Amino acid sequence: MEGHQRNLYLYERFNARVLGVSRDDVTTLRYWAKGLDLTFPLLSNVTSFLGVYFQIQPDGKPIFGRRTVIIDKTGVIRYVRDGSPEYKDILLFLKKLNQEGGKS
Amino acid sequence: MKKKILTILCAAWVVAWLSGCATTQTAPKPYRISPQGTVIWEDELEFAPPPLGWKLLLPEEGGDISIGFMRMEPGAFPSSSSFAYDEEPFGCSTDFEGREKEFFKRFLFNAILEFKMLEKKKVQVVGGEGLQVDVEGKDPIKGEKVRARVIFGKRGERIIGFYMTQWRPIDGTYDMSAFDDFDKFVKSFKFLKKSFYETL
């Protein structure tokens, strides 16, 4: 997440916005964001429907798996990677998407 | 008989040397030495190597460039020094004051030390303005202390960092010659090309 915060100025340049989604409650996320000085929105999804939708909700576990998803301006999922975010890969993809004229 | 033994030893030495070559080929070094004696790191960075006694530390995984050196020093545990260049120091701000605050929230976090600021000053680093912060941290429970120097500089729009830590038993004496080696390393440091982020 700190990597996303460092890259915010580049996301802005590529017409992209970043959101984090977690099953933690709002208060926990607020403390977490404060600790890491994050300024982008974090969504609290305690009931986990987003995790089910994005297929990152392991059965019987109270947390989401880690997945990076890039959605273009038409709502089409264009990029999906599991595990820790590959920041350089994400930036190159957003640059390409922006050059195509797609607003993510 | 003596000649035969010598022949066998020579053959064994050649085999050992070739094995070494084979190892080098499978894991190429990320650096080379220039004719001037400086280190050229992945054709991107250039710096003067520290004196003998400092061992190179490499990150276990890929990612943004981080290079470090370490040396064990005389005296009881934890007497040692290490310094590093970090392409992505803790924090996110692109201004020095903001980054300093963010960085020191997490620097040596796991050691749970009580830090005291010793000195803060503007410096010149990698061809531009920078900020140097010297701190000392103490752990009276474990009986350890650390003196650290952190230098923030800029590469394009982003902040980069150099840091040096020297650990001692709480009643130990710091060896400031290690800080001189660190300062020489930082002073010699150059970027040979634009970073990934500058090319976007």
Average pLDDT, chain B: 87
Domains of chain B: which residue ranges? 30-193
A63: domain CATH number is 3.40.30.10
% helix, strand, coil for chain B, step of 5? 25, 40, 35
Q: What is the pLDDT of residue B27?
A: 67
Question: B196 and A88 in contact by Cβ < 8 A?
Answer: yes
Check residues B110 and B75 and name the one with the higher pLDDT: B75
| Chain B closest-CA separation from residue A53 CA (Å) | 30
Q: Residues of B at the A interface (Cβ-Cβ below 8 Å)?
A: 88, 90-94, 102, 105, 157-158, 196-197, 200
Q: What is the pTM of this model?
A: 0.83
User: Alpha carbon of A100 to those of A36, A58, A70, A79: distances in Å?
Assistant: 33, 35, 14, 15
Q: What is the pLDDT of residue A62?
A: 87
If pLDDT is split at 50, 70 and 90, which confidence band does B12 have?
very low
Q: Percent of chain B scored above 70 by pLDDT?
A: 84
pLDDT tens per residue across span B91-138: 999 999 999 999 999 898 888 888 999 999 999 999 999 999 999 999
Parallel, antiparallel, or unpaired: how do β-strands A20-22 and A42-44 relate?
parallel
User: What is the ipTM score, two decimals?
Assistant: 0.84
pLDDT at B17 over 50: no
Overall average pLDDT of the B53-77 stretch: 85
pLDDT at B23 over 80: no
**Nearest-by-Cβ selection for B197 from A10, A35, A37:** A10
pLDDT at B19 over 60: no
Residue A66 belongs to domain spanning: 2-100
pLDDT tens per residue across span B156-200: 999 999 999 999 999 999 999 999 999 999 999 999 999 999 999
In this structure, what DSSP letter does residue B104 have? Answer: H
Q: What is the pLDDT of residue B110?
A: 80
Number of helical H runs and strand E runs in chain A: 5, 4
Q: Which residues of A touch B157 (CB under 8 A)?
A: 9
In the CATH hierarchy, which fold is given to the domain comprising B30-193? Jelly Rolls (2.60.120)
Question: Domains in chain A: how many in total?
Answer: 1
How many other β-carbons are positioned within 10 Å of the β-carbon of residue B18? 10
User: Alpha carbon of B121 to those of A102, B9, B23, B117, B147: distances in Å?
Assistant: 45, 59, 46, 11, 16
In this structure, what DSSP letter does residue B64 have? Answer: S
Q: Are A5 and A39 in contact (CB under 8 A)?
A: yes
Those residues of chain A that have pLDDT short of 70 are 102-104
**Nearest-by-Cβ selection for B92 from A5, A13, A95:** A5
CA distance B82 to B148: 10
Question: A2 and B200 in contact by Cβ < 8 A?
Answer: no
CA distance A68 to A66: 7
Q: What is the pLDDT of residue B93?
A: 94
| Chain A closest-CA separation from residue B92 CA (Å) | 5
List strand residue ranges (DSSP E) for B3-54, in order.
Answer: 31-33, 39-41, 45-47
In this structure, what DSSP letter does residue B103 have? Answer: H
